[in-house]
Amino acid sequence: MNSHHPDIPRSSGIARFFLDDRVAEGRGDRTALLCGDERYTFAELARLSDRAAAAFRDLGVSPDERVLLALDDRPEWVVAFFAVQKLGAVVVKVSPDLPPEQYGWYLYYSRARLVVTHDRLAAAFHRADAPLLRRVVTVERDWGRLLGRAPGDFRPEETDRDDPAVWLFTTGSTGQPKAAVHTHRSFINAAVRYGGGVIGYREGDVALSVPKLFFGYATGAGLLFPFAHGAACALFPDRATPEEVFARIERHRPTVLVNVPTMVQRMCAAEDASRRDLSSLRVSISAGEALPAELVHRWKATFGVELLDGIGTSEMWHIFLSNRPGQVRPGSVGTLVPGYAARVVDDDGNDCPPGEIGTLWIAGGSRALGYHRDHARSCEVFRGDWYVTGDRFRVDEDGYFWFSGRGDDLLKVGGRWVSPVEIEDCLLRHPAVAHCAVVGHAGADGLVTPLAFLVPTFGHAPGDALAAELKEHVKQALGAFKYPRQFRFVGSLPRNDRGKVDRKALKSALDAEAPG
């Protein structure tokens, strides 16, 4: 499948392609990064990353070794990321908001030689049993001193397009997260195929990302893709809230908003949403979890901005199915990104006809090498050029793909398959529903039926009357067998560090209620 790989020179690397080439092209004085009152040009980031790379090398980091970043979204994250690439080392990106006890596992698993983090997390890393760890650097205490004494004439290591560059973690729906090991090729491929071929990033764009940079979706759409095309990235270290996002849009006037469904809903529901000025945006994109059609319509009606849903995975690094500007089908994840191939197959490995639900297989130039230290699972899901996603899809006659849930999330009710995503989309069209998640629940008779966890909108009282109304709403829209048999009204839904609904936590809560 060589046609799925753009022409990438063998000596290419992330630092050169996304940063240093902008300086070589004569665009070094253009603004690359905005963060509050701080502004950095491409040339300034190139010089700072050279210094940071020299400092990291003095701390004992060698090519191919891992460096763990646990940082808020601020300029030091960007500088450290490119510095590690210039060393020929490998970035391990983790959230800076995990419970402290989890960082020890990431150190053990990655065998990272260096950690770059914040003062508030330093103790958690120092307590970890990590004999290979050489140094914990915090940006508050060590950063300025290390860069200040580092030489500015650093010569980057030569990197091959197929050298490991970055680890992206699965969300760990079962057990501990696994790292998908990606090469420099993956990042360059996605920047060309999706960043250029679908979104059309261009000089003059400013991208603002709601999800944080440790999330692969944000690393690409919010930072690397703009840089690849001479555009700028706007960062903010604070927790994303509707008010914070609105304020950053009005301050930095981005042209591309990188969003997630949860924030789409919260921004649309804000009391002053209709008065907010989003006129600078030429496009908003969404990924990370299913985006109901109702939210696509609501976003366009509220803000007048097109919302493009798409899907990617840690194993393929970035988005491979996406809606296009001017060609949005609400509820779908769009069509194939140029350079990718897809199959929807049944349980026997045969291609499904249009309209039939099957498992999605995907191929393209951003596929991971495999999972770190998990050969058996790698062999199971990486098959030749293909990655077997485990996600259930159908594709229509026009080539649009429609997500039906994870394979283990689908419910069989009365002998027929039911997609929780379809039920959730239907419930969200009711004015009483702010958020919802549908899971399977076995009753006393052992039969599995849909159960909905639901957050009501303000002014709608939870209880039997509302549950009965919602059951009838789903029956009328989807048919008699798909409606949730039970409702659990809650104040909020549990979410993981990427903002996705934590279905494992919901199922565990139901299991804990089971007698015996």
- Given a contact cutoff of 8 angstroms between Cβ atoms, the answer to whether 472 and 479 are in contact is no
CA distances 444 to 165, 438, 439, Å, are 51, 19, 16
β-pairing verdict for 206-209 and 256-259: parallel
Beta partners for 388?
A: 361
Report, as an integer, the average pLDDT of 476-497.
87
β-pairing verdict for 307-312 and 90-93: unpaired
- Given a contact cutoff of 8 angstroms between Cβ atoms, the answer to whether 504 and 173 are in contact is yes
Q: Look up residue 95 and give its two tokens.
A: 């959230």
Report, as an integer, the average pLDDT of 394-415.
81
**What whole-number distance in Å separates Cα of residue 83 and Cα of residue 63?**
12
Q: Provide the 10 A C-beta neighbour count for residue 514.
A: 8
What string of DSSP letters covers 336-378?
EPTT-EEEEE-TTSPBPPTT--EEEEEE-TT--SEETT-HHHH
Highest mean pLDDT among 41-50, 99-108, 127-136: 41-50
**What whole-number distance in Å separates Cα of residue 407 and Cα of residue 393?**
9
Q: Provide the 10 A C-beta neighbour count for residue 69.
A: 22
Q: Look up residue 18 and give its two tokens.
A: 């996304």
Which tops the pLDDT comparison, 171 or 115? 115
Question: Which residues lie below 8 Å from residue 439, measured CB to CB, with a gap of 6+?
Answer: 409, 420, 450, 451, 453, 503, 506, 507, 510
| DSSP H/E element including 63 | none
Provide the CATH topology of domain 409-513. Answer: GMP Synthetase; Chain A, domain 3 (3.30.300)
pLDDT above 50 for 438: yes
Report, as an integer, the average pLDDT of 305-333.
96
Helix (H, G, I), strand (E, B) or coil at 447: coil
User: What is the share, in percent, of the chain residues with pLDDT greater than 70?
Assistant: 95
Specify the pLDDT at position 53: 97
Report, as an integer, the average pLDDT of 157-164.
94
Specify the pLDDT at position 509: 83
Q: 32-36, 140-144, 423-427: which range is least confident on average? A: 423-427
pLDDT above 60 for 391: yes
Give 1's pLDDT tier (boundaries 50, 70, 90). very low
Specify the pLDDT at position 11: 81
pLDDT above 70 for 445: no
Report, as an integer, the average pLDDT of 435-454.
83
Q: At what angle do helices 464-478 and 420-428 cross, to 10 degrees?
A: 110
How many alpha carbons fall within 13 Å on the CB side of residue 167? 28
CATH architecture of 8-395: 3-Layer(aba) Sandwich (3.40)
Specify the pLDDT at position 411: 76
- Given a contact cutoff of 8 angstroms between Cβ atoms, the answer to whether 129 and 108 are in contact is yes
Question: Which residues lie below 8 Å from residue 510, measured CB to CB, with a gap of 6+?
Answer: 439, 441, 451
Domain boundaries of the chain, sorted by first residue: 8-395, 409-513
Give 310's pLDDT tier (boundaries 50, 70, 90). very high
Q: Provide the 10 A C-beta neighbour count for residue 289.
A: 18
pLDDT above 70 for 199: yes
**What whole-number distance in Å separates Cα of residue 7 and Cα of residue 5?**
6
* pTM, full prediction: 0.84
Give 444's pLDDT tier (boundaries 50, 70, 90). low
**What whole-number distance in Å separates Cα of residue 18 and Cα of residue 82?**
9
Specify the pLDDT at position 174: 47
N- to C-terminal Cα separation, the chain: 53
Report, as an integer, the average pLDDT of 233-254.
97
pLDDT above 60 for 192: yes
Residue 13 backbone phi and psi in degrees, to 5:
-150, 160
pLDDT above 60 for 385: yes
Highest mean pLDDT among 32-36, 153-157, 173-177, 490-494: 32-36
Report, as an integer, the average pLDDT of 57-64.
96
For the stretch 334-380, pLDDT in tens is: 999 999 999 999 989 999 999 998 999 999 999 999 999 999 999 99
Specify the pLDDT at position 177: 86
**What whole-number distance in Å separates Cα of residue 217 and Cα of residue 97?**
18
**What whole-number distance in Å separates Cα of residue 441 and Cα of residue 449?**
6
Q: Do domains 8-395 and 409-513 have the same CATH topology?
A: no
pLDDT above 50 for 318: yes
Cα-Cα-Cα-Cα dihedral sign, residues 141, 145, 146, 147: positive
| DSSP H/E element including 403 | strand 401-406
What would the 3-class secondary structure string for 155-198 be? CCCCCCCCCEEEEEECCCCCCCCCEEEEEHHHHHHHHHHHHHHH
* Mean pLDDT of all residues belonging to the chain: 92
Starting at the earlier edge strand, list the strands of the sheet with 90-93: 135-138, 114-117, 66-69, 90-93, 164-169, 179-183, 370-371
